[in-house]
Structures are given as structure tokens and as C-alpha cells.
Structure 1
Amino acid sequence: MTIDHTLGAAFLKAAEHEGLGVTFWSGLGRHQKFTYGELATQAARVAGTLVSLGLQPGDRVGLVLPTGPDFYHGFFGAVLAGAVPCAMYPPVRLGRIDEWKERTAQMMREARVQIVLSDRRLLPLVSVPGQRAGVPHGVQTVDWCRRSEEVYRCSEGPEVLAAVQFSSGSTGRPKPVALTHNNMIRNCQAIMSTFPGDPSNHSGVSWLPLYHDMGLIGCLLTAIMAKGPLTLINPERFIARPVGWLEALTESRATISVAPNFAFGLCAERIGDEDLEGLDLSSWTVALCGAEPVHPKTLDRFCARFGPVGFQSSALTPVYGLAEATLGVTFAPIEVERRIIHVDPASLEEDGQAQLAEEGLPLSSLGRPLAGTEVEIRDPSGACVPEAQVGQVWVRGDGVMAGYLDQPEETTAVLQDDWLDTGDRGFVLAGDLFLCGRAKDVIILRGRNYDPSVIEQGLDGVEGLRTGCWAAVSLPVETGDTEALYLLAESHNSEDEGLIQICREAVQEHSGLTVAGVLILAPGTLPRTSSGKIRRSEARRRLLQGLLLPPKKMTALGIATEFAKGWMARWLPRAAS
């Protein structure tokens, strides 16, 4: 590898291609397009300001930014200054603003950021965790940083720290994952090698947040390295109007787009017949599905709904990855029908064996390891288990992180001889990986292990529930000598007694398990990670402590108060000095 194989070099090389760049899609016919050359010029000015402030190579730069050109300016501004960008999620739910402030301050402290870049709209809110974390150069806008002469001071080589991305925190707090240029470049190359034909002939559409590994690496960086056009949609715009994603695919004639399982379910559920008019998804040949458990029924509903407007079922490609492995670990074959197996749930739960059964539980293959990656399934002692035996998923390869930033004990707990303990449970059958959930989320009932994501599949398609907004947990019974299964699910109609019975029957029919209770919750009650995954263990903890409460309703006065707190946190220290 040469010095060209760094993020800065890849970005500047893409900037040499006239006309190549990114379109920020509004859905209103007022799209903004920026070439990589234009983005690079502004990023170099941000780099100039960072250097003028005294930032040294390797210093960390926090980013709390929405999808937009400022994210490119801030991210690559840090890269071109020789610094290390650390993307963090912006506040998206004001009803949980206090929780966001605390988690963000913790991330800033753990990354030891020297400065945080945001925008004018978010500045008052981001200033609060910035002050709590004691960020040396405070929180500044990207616009303020675009004031200097251009600077191009790229990192010295591929093994240098390139970026810090935070793990999802689905079973605990988000951890700062330290990635080198080699990790990120090689993982992007491995992902691109799965695309049919020349990667530059493909174009992408994404609504995924750019602070998330799948949005940042799988979309933004991969598009730069592939030198193909990319269209980006604000995530909040997608949630509010899912059909916008498909309209952008239709309009741009894109070939690649990626999303979690819930997004495919949301589209199948909320896009009406009138919205199908004008859609043409025939160009979409690579539809990657990952970042959370892949439910075959969800993808089947998506295919049935959008097949009439040109979507090909062979386009759906389940994938597996995690932040600690940069992003991608395994991919199912591209442009090939999904491999679905049916296994006997009793054998899976009692013996940890994936025994095929015609009427059994459907599981989707997540494919085989990417180039430069190995996967092993191990038992608790660390020994490899035979095919079809459930165990811990371990990964080794080019994308595996250098470690958790400045956390040697946390690193040692998951990295052994270059092998990463993913914390996921699964098995390999005929060379393909199948997942059975997170080890820390396992539900134990009467001595048997159950994967909550498998139980939750029974809720998929239940009318009245918010798509993907549910959790299966175990709670102690009154005698205290065992636990029972409970379902937590969000709905806009929390008073519907009939919905409780429907949920109970759906899960019992799907899994054969007795459901002790169903709690219908207000929207936004279940705790989530920055990428939207349900934090089951945290939901259980809050429920037991009486803290599983809906987000507080934010009035106009409440919103104004939060912004006022931010401005006070930003300006009072200056006035005192």
C-alpha cells in the first residue's frame, strides 16, 4: 500500500473528476448538487482553520452535523488537516434531549475531541455537551471554519488513525472504535468488489445518517472510491415520507441503495396505491439490507408491494457487519434470489443446533465473508464448533478495528490474536452465515435460550404497531425463581385492548411460547441507539425500575428553553472571562 491509499488521497482523486459529485435530494425539485472538486475546496478551507487553531496530526475533531454539504466540509476538513474526524449523532428527538446531551458529552470526553463542528441551527444544543465535556476549542460552525486559506496536510500513511466511529450501543454505551485508513479503504474495496461490473458504472441513493457506519462508509466513502454519483436524502425526510426514497431511486435511475430491515417494512406498510404511480424501480439491482436482523417476511412483503413497479426480488441482498469491523463482514450473492432456510426452533433453543425443518422458523442467509475477511463460530471456551452449531461469531480481517480508543481493557475483552468477538450468536451452514441475535440479549426461559429478534418476528405485520418498534424481554415472576416472556411494543393507539391480544396470539403462533404480558407503549418510549436500534436490555432495566416513560412533550416554550440553555452555555463562560 502507498500513501495514495488514505481517505484524503481518495477524496482528492475523486475531486479531479469533473462533474462527479453528490446531489442532496429535497423531493421538491430543488435539489442541490456539489462536485467533489467544490466540496474539496471548502474542506481545505476548514482544514486551514483547524491548523491555524493549532490542531496537530492525530487530534480528534467532533462532528455533530445533519446530512448536507457541511458534513463533507467538516469530515474531510479534519482529514485534510491530518486530524481524525469523530462523527456523532445530532439531536433528533427533542423529547429525549437530556439523554442526548449526556450521551454526547460522554462521547466527546471518550474521544478527547479538541473541537466540535456543527451548524448554526444545532449550535445552541450542541454547545451544552461541548461545555460539559470541556472541549478545548469549543463548538464552532463549519461556516465559521471556512474562513482560512486552503490547507492540504493529509495523513502520513495507511496505518495511521483515520476516524473514530462509535458502536451502536445496542447492549450498552456506545464505544469509540478506532479505525485506520487501511481499515476503511480495504473495507470499501471489499464491498465494491461484490458489485457487478465496473463500480464506477453504478450510482447510489441513501437516506442513512452519515454519522452511522453504513451511511458514512457504505455510502459516502464507497461512492468516493468507486467514483460514482451519489444522491443523499435527509433521514428525517425519509421517516416522514418513505416514498421519497423510492422517488429518488426512480428519478436518479440509481442501481444501489442500502437500508435496515425496518425501512423495507415501513415502505411496504405506509406507501399507498396512489404513491405507486410514477415509480419505476427497475434500475435498482443491488438492494442491500443490514444493520439489524433481517426478517424474511418483511422482505417478502416489500417484494410483493413493489414488484409491480419494477422491483426485482433478486436485487435484495442481506448483509452482515458491525462498527468494530469497519462495516462489512459478509454479503449474500448480488443479483441472486435470497437463500432462506427453515429450522426447527426447539432444536435451536434446546441443543443450539440448526436442524432443517420444512415448517420451521425462517432464517435468511447473510452470505459469505468479504475479500480479506474470515469468520469462525466458537463455543464459550474459544473452540470452533461444527457446521450448523450455534456459537459466538468471531471475525478476523482487514476491516477489524485497531481497538477501542484509549480503552485497553475494553479492547482486550473483544480482541484476541487479531480475532474480534462480535458479541453476536450464529451458525454457518453450507458456507453461509446465519445469525441468532446478540449474546447479551438472550432470553432464558425454563433453562432454554431464546433469541428475542426471532420471537419479535411474530409481531412483523401486526396492524396498529409501529414498524420495528418492539422488544421481547424476560421479567421475573412473583415467586422470583424464574422469568416469563413479555412484549413491549409502541403504537399510536395504546388504549386498544384488542391489540394486546393480537400481539399475544401472533407471537405464540410464531414461536410456540407463552406470552405472560404485553405492554403497549406510546411512540418514542423504547430506548434506542443513535442508529435507531431498540436497546432491549436498557428497556428491561427501565421497566423494572419504573423508568420506562414516554418522551416528554416539547411545546414551543420548551423548545425555546432548550435553545436558550445552549446559548447561555456558549456565551456565559466568555462573558465571565
Structure 2
Amino acid sequence: MTTVLTDPVDDPCATGPVPLTAGPATWAAERGTSTAFTFSDHTVSPPRRSSLTWDELARDTDDLARRLRTVAEPGERCAIMLPTGLEFVVGMLAAVRAGLVAVPLFGPDNRGHAERVRAVLEDCTPALALATPAGVEAVEATGAVGRVLALGGTGDELPAPSGAELVDPDPDDVAYLQYTSGSTRTPAGVVVTHANVLANCAQLVDAVGVHRDTNRSVTWLPLFHDMGLVAGVLLPVCTGVSADLMDPAAFVQRPARWLDLLAGAPGTFSAAPNFAFDHCVRRVRDVDLERLDLSGVTALVNGSEPVRPATIERFAERFGPVGFRREAHRPSYGLAEATVFVATGPAGREPVTVAFDAERLRSGEAVPATDDDGARALVSCGTPVGQSVVVVDPVSRRPRPDGAVGELWCRGPNVAAAYHGGGERSRETFEATLADDARGGLPAGPWMRTGDLGVVHDGALFVTGRLKDTIIVDGRNHYPQDLEATAESADPEVRQGLVAAFGVDDRDEGEQVVVLAVRRRRDEDGSAARTVRRAVSSEHGVPVREVRFVPPHELPRTSSGKIARAACRRAYLADAGALR
């Protein structure tokens, strides 16, 4: 029987959130002197906290929007090239309020991503960019921006406010372009409308239980990333909850800073990729635990990359004694093409992990294992909220039955309609249709192809991997994250989250596996590489061509920090020295 996970959303306007452009003024009228956003600056000692009330946010947003209208017309693109902070929040909201299409990006000096910045700017051709005073020259040097304005200076360099009326956008007007992180392909700009934003915020409210009187958002994620932007800026503005922001570098240096913000008041919620939870377990000291009380944390959404069962257990074991509740850990699934959020487990329930027969799973069947040997544990991402997900055979376009692995296709009011510029890639992703003779009562389309593989088991969604990352050896599917986990466990010196496994085609031997990893210490005699090679080969039954240890900065990653396996593979095959 074909299984489709569906949860129709009500009218988003009736479920609580208000439109993005109306948010600042709405909450200023209701709670003007209350704090809207706070930024903790850890580049100074002691850390400096600066805030904006809802009154100040509405005033600053409206003022900057009128200034932007002096130099740009509605519908033109405005690149937001500012670091995490209050200037980013105001710049992003002002661009949207002015009727421009915001393009959230990292600054031009972001190490290792200069080429990506240039490629994105050339793709979206912004008429305007907002940068720090120190970053203006670098943005201008790209030659891809019409005009650059500096925020965070004296303000004297900004144009005078326009007298033009700021018109409320239609729901189908474009709010911003969200450029994908490019873990398996060249980044593309997802066209996110105001209706998409409102719908996804309504879905998150339903899933997490957000209320402006009882909850507070906390994030260290970069605000140019879909999860950081929605959880840290858009959801607070649409719902009236306050938000605490922190720079990603501050979290990486001392993850206890994130937990300090979470423990600061009851009702906090946050979102982070799986590696962040492991980072906390490894780096938060016993002395840090003495001041923490995490009993008031409502939800920690774990998503953006595969959620590992061991991570959930380690985090609960480490932080349970200071009040963290297992049911607050919310494994989830989402992607930029769906604004950000798709599915999660029900509130108030602990994460669900199922051990599947690994051999059957490689053959495309999800069958619970009868013993631990040969089992692969997967964490459930629950069910979609306010949208539909169906598991599909990507070749025949026929829905797969419960327990069969296939590509995840999504449909809902939060799902975007295209990539910027359209083209074949956009049509392939956003205009998928189910085979007429197999769809039953499902709509033919359009469906959005996620490129992710998953399965429905006992009414819940389990994500198994990326379609384009799958390594096929002797007709069996191997998911790279499984091979990477084995490599990490085989050698304690291999750094967690800094491993890439991919397949290469040897014309004599067929498909073989290559493992690139970052190791804390040099492998002087090659014994560590041999240990990892034996572990991966024996546990997964795959031929391993090479295990190579590389410095951290030479392992290609996306702008959001995820391992870019496709880029690793390309560099390895080019053998140009980038990974030697």
C-alpha cells in the first residue's frame, strides 16, 4: 500500500503568525518597549550585549526601508552581506519592507568561500548590497553589485529617505532568495515568497508550540543559512517572540555560551545541526555544568544533517543531570526548498530510534533487525506538519509502499516554486509529477524533489541519505554517513564530523570507496589509515581504494559547515593537490 505522510495546514493567517513585513509594527503596537532582539558580542571582554525593542526595530526598519527605496526599485535584489548581529536583522527586514528581494549572504571576507560569493552575486545580479563599513571595498571589488551601502557606521553615508509609500506585498511576491549550501551541487537561489514564509512559520508554531508570551528563540547559526534565518529572525518577527543571537565563531570556540543563553530563561528553543550537540558533549566542561539549568528548554531542533542515535544518547547523558529532558530533543527534517522546515516528532515524546537490518536497507527495504549484528540504527524525523511527503521511485515516478526506500517528494504552502532564473534544474526540482497510473488519490503535481532518500516505517519518516551521495557497489546501496561513522569509531583520533566518504569508478575494479578524514595527530607510519580501511571494508563489505588524512581547512565544506562530498570527490579525481 502506498504511504503518504500528510498534514494539511489551516489558513496560516488564522494560526497566529503575522506577515513578515507587518511583524515589527504589529508587535511594536502591542509590546513596544519589550526586547525583540539581543546580540551577544564575544569578540570583546567581557562580552557586550546589545538589544533592540520592538519599537526600535519598527522605527529602524521603516527608516532604512525608505532610504533603500531612494536607490533601488521594488523587485530588485539586495544582498545582505553583514555578519550576525542587529544590523543584519534590520538590513534584512528593511530590504523586504522596501519591496526588494533580499539575498542573505555571508561577508566577502568569509574564508574559503570567495568564489561562491562571486558566483552567487553573478547569479542574482543585485542592484544593491548592504555591508559593514570595513567590507564595502571588498564587495565593490567583486564588480557584481550595482551599489554598496554601509551599515553600522555613522549613517551619514546613507541616502536620504524616499517619500515613496511602502506598500504591503502580495502573498506571492518574492521575499528573498535562499541560496542552497551546495553539499552535492552548485548553489542555487530558492525563490521564497511571503506566503512561503508565513506558512512555514505557522507550521513551526504548530510543531514546536511557539508563543510570544512564553517562548524565546536562541541561535548561533549564521543568519544567511536557512535554519538560522528562519529560527533566528523570521519566526520571531512573524510571531512576536524575542530572540537571542550569537556569532557562530563564539559557539565553536566555547559551546557553553549557547547553553548559557538557553538556560537564561524558561521556554527557550533553538535549532542546530547534529555536530553541534556532539561539540557540546566534547567541549562543555564540568565547571560549566555547575551554573546550567536546562530544565526550561522547550525544544532543541536537530536537523540540517543526518541525526545520529549516539549523539542523542551522549547529549542526554551529559546534560540530563542539569535538567535537559530527552523529549526536548527534536530530530527534524527540512531543506531550503521548503523554506526550511518539513517534519519532526510529536511534542512531549522522546526521540524514536529503530535498528533496521543493514543488508535489507541497502537493498531498499526497511525491516527491523532481529539482532544487533548487521543492524543500522536510524532516528525518526516524525511526520510532516502542514504539508505532504511521499516516498517515490525517482525513475518510474511511482509512489513506494510503506517500508520501501525512495526519494522524498514534498508538497505544501511552504514549498517554493522555483530557483532564481528557472531553467531545467528548477523544473526538475519543483515541477515533478507522479505517474498517472500509480498515484491513486494523490495530486499529480507539482511535487518538489528533495534529492533525499527516505522511508516510512510505522507511520514515521526516516531519512536514509542523499540520492546523489549514495555509493553503489555490486548493486547494493551504501550510505556515506554510515561509512563515515565507522571511520570515526575505528580511530579515536579521527575528528567527529570531519570525514567524507564517496565512491570512485575504477575501470578495472569497479566502484571503490575513498575516505578523507581529519585526524588530530599525524599518522606517521600509516597504521591509522590501515585500521580505518580495514574497519570500513569489513563492516560494510566494500572495497576501499584509499584512506587519506587531510588538514581541516583542506576538507571541502559548504557555507553552512556541512561536508561537501561532491566537492571532495571532484578534488580527489582532479588530483590537483588540494587534498594532498
TM-score where L is the length of structure 2: 0.88
Cα deviation, residue 510, structure 1:
5.2
Does residue 483 of the first structure (1) align with residue 511 of the second (2)? yes
Cα deviation, residue 69, structure 1:
1.0
Tell me, what secondary structure is at the counterpart of 1:317? strand
Mapped partners of 1:44, 1:65: distance in 2? 19
Cα 1:432/1:444, change in 2 over 3 Å: same
Superposed CA deviations along residues 431-460 of structure 1, whole A, max 9, x for unmatched, are 211111111111111222111112222245
Cα 1:180/1:13, change in 2 over 3 Å: same
Does residue 59 of the first structure (1) align with residue 69 of the second (2)? no
Mapped partners of 1:441, 1:201: distance in 2? 41
Mapped partners of 1:449, 1:48: distance in 2? 55
Tell me, what secondary structure is at the counterpart of 2:241? coil
Cα 1:39/1:392, change in 2 over 3 Å: same
- Structure 1 segment 383-532 matched on structure 2, within 5 A: 383-416=398-431, 417-460=445-488, 462-477=491-506, 480-496=508-524, 497-504=526-533, 506-508=535-537, 511-513=540-542, 515-532=544-561
Mapped partners of 1:258, 1:127: distance in 2? 34
Cα 1:92/1:352, change in 2 over 3 Å: farther
Mapped partners of 2:391, 2:105: distance in 1? 32
Q: Is the 8 A contact 2:416 2:430 kept in 1?
A: no
Cα deviation, residue 515, structure 1:
3.7
Cα deviation, residue 467, structure 1:
2.6
Q: Is the 8 A contact 2:70 2:161 kept in 1?
A: no
Does residue 77 of the first structure (1) align with residue 89 of the second (2)? no
Superposed CA deviations along residues 284-329 of structure 1, whole A, max 9, x for unmatched, are 1311100111111112111111112211112111010110111111
Does residue 240 of the first structure (1) align with residue 253 of the second (2)? yes
Mapped partners of 1:502, 1:139: distance in 2? 54
Q: Is the 8 A contact 1:207 1:234 kept in 2?
A: yes
Cα deviation, residue 411, structure 1:
1.6
Mapped partners of 1:271, 1:11: distance in 2? 36
2:472 alignment partner AA: I
**1:89 aligns to what?**
106
Cα deviation, residue 109, structure 1:
2.0
Where in structure 1 are there 5+ consecutive unaligned residues?
Answer: 552-577
Deviates more, 1:285-294 or 1:8-17: 8-17
Deviates more, 1:116-125 or 1:179-188: 116-125
Deviates more, 1:505-514 or 1:537-546: 505-514
Superposed CA deviations along residues 380-432 of structure 1, whole A, max 9, x for unmatched, are 21000101101111000011102111223222111223210111111111221
Mapped partners of 2:280, 2:349: distance in 1? 22
Tell me, what secondary structure is at the counterpart of 1:280? coil
Tell me, what secondary structure is at the counterpart of 1:194? helix
Tell me, what secondary structure is at the counterpart of 1:404? coil
Superposed CA deviations along residues 444-486 of structure 1, whole A, max 9, x for unmatched, are 1122211111222224565323331111112344x53402222
Cα deviation, residue 221, structure 1:
1.1
**1:567 aligns to what?**
none
Mapped partners of 1:272, 1:508: distance in 2? 36
Cα deviation, residue 276, structure 1:
2.1
Mapped partners of 2:126, 2:471: distance in 1? 38
Cα 1:155/1:529, change in 2 over 3 Å: farther
Cα deviation, residue 508, structure 1:
4.9
Superposed CA deviations along residues 38-96 of structure 1, whole A, max 9, x for unmatched, are 1222222221221111x2211110111111111012111111211111101225653x2
Deviates more, 1:55-64 or 1:13-22: 13-22
Mapped partners of 1:7, 1:323: distance in 2? 18
Q: Provide the alpha-carbon RMSD of the alignment.
A: 2.3
Q: Is the 8 A contact 2:519 2:550 kept in 1?
A: yes
- Structure 1 segment 349-360 matched on structure 2, within 5 A: 349=362, 351-357=363-369, 358-359=371-372, 360=375
Of 310, 315, 333, the match for 1:302: 315
Q: Is the 8 A contact 1:45 1:148 kept in 2?
A: no
Q: Is the 8 A contact 2:83 2:107 kept in 1?
A: yes
**2:378 aligns to what?**
363
1:74 alignment partner AA: G
**1:42 aligns to what?**
60
Cα 1:238/1:76, change in 2 over 3 Å: same
Q: Is the 8 A contact 2:304 2:333 kept in 1?
A: yes
Cα 1:113/1:281, change in 2 over 3 Å: same
2:242 alignment partner AA: P
Of 156, 160, 163, the match for 1:148: 160
TM-score where L is the length of structure 1: 0.88
Of 290, 293, 307, the match for 2:303: 290
Tell me, what secondary structure is at the counterpart of 2:147? coil
Cα 1:160/1:223, change in 2 over 3 Å: same
**1:111 aligns to what?**
124
Q: Is the 8 A contact 2:87 2:151 kept in 1?
A: no
**2:5 aligns to what?**
none
Mapped partners of 2:496, 2:213: distance in 1? 35
Cα deviation, residue 29, structure 1:
4.8
1:414 alignment partner AA: T
Deviates more, 1:177-186 or 1:16-25: 16-25
Superposed CA deviations along residues 125-148 of structure 1, whole A, max 9, x for unmatched, are 33332x1x2x22246446446553
Cα deviation, residue 6, structure 1:
3.1
Superposed CA deviations along residues 252-302 of structure 1, whole A, max 9, x for unmatched, are 445211110000011111223233221221111311100111111112111
Cα 1:195/1:107, change in 2 over 3 Å: same
Mapped partners of 1:506, 1:203: distance in 2? 44
Cα deviation, residue 233, structure 1:
0.7
Where in structure 2 are there 5+ consecutive unaligned residues?
Answer: 1-10, 432-444
Tell me, what secondary structure is at the counterpart of 2:307? coil
Does residue 546 of the first structure (1) align with residue 575 of the second (2)? yes
Percent of aligned pairs sharing the same letter: 34
Q: Is the 8 A contact 1:79 1:162 kept in 2?
A: yes
Q: Is the 8 A contact 2:270 2:300 kept in 1?
A: yes
Cα deviation, residue 511, structure 1:
3.8
Mapped partners of 1:112, 1:269: distance in 2? 42
